[in-house]
Amino acid sequence: MSLQLGQTAPDFEQASSEGRIRFHDYLGESWGILFSHPKDFTPVCTTELAEVARLKPEWDRRGVKPIGLSVDTGENHQGWAVDIEETQGQKLNFPVLADHDRKVSDLYEMIHPEADPNVTVRSVFVIDPQKKIRLTLTYPPATGRNFDEILRVIDALQLTDAHKVATPVNWRDGRDVIIIPSLSDEEAKQRFPDGFKTLRPYLRMVKQPKLPHRA
């Protein structure tokens, strides 16, 4: 059975580019993003790892710890890190798991049993401070991931947790949001004293509260 949203992210201990890591201890009380790759020295992933490193200020603002994974050895990671810096102009600043034994890949069900493991490990997991899985994404090998979208989703998740709102289609920071249905009108009036607009009993729009990291 595949991992489900809301399920506790499996813990593990594995070698990485920054030494051995026990996953839950590494995350501590932070959010986390675990994103996986096929073997080292692959072109699309080279650009992705550099982008995650480049986005360090954005991860830090949101209290997110990124951790990569490749089904290759730590020795290869060292050489790949040099290539990433030379071709992308960005040094890695987060750990990359050396999952050559595919322990973590199997634990997180990243590899389809009938597919080539060198091209199928392309998963993303967003994990909250309670170690619950809040987002899963799987990309094809030739399509680069959109980390702007991943940041957007993390913003939405943190907004929901802090303010009991949901985000509508194509939401961006600053746009109106939806009051979650489980919140009564009386509770909504207390939480949103400036008022809200009821389009339907189940659809109540309100001005977006501040994101937690921008309060």
Catalytic machinery residues: 45
> What beta strand segments (E) does 38-164 contain?
64-70, 96-98, 123-127, 133-138
CB of 155 closer than 8 Å to CB of 171: no
**CB-based contacts of 181: which residues, under 8 Å, 6+ apart?**
202
Q: How far apart are CA 46 and CA 88, in angstroms?
A: 8
* Backbone angles phi and psi of 79, in degrees to 5: -65, -40
Residue with tokens 């290869």: 76
Distance CA 165, CA 180 (A): 5
CA distance 52 to 125: 14
**Angle between the 43-54 and 74-88 helix axes, to the nearest 10 degrees?**
70
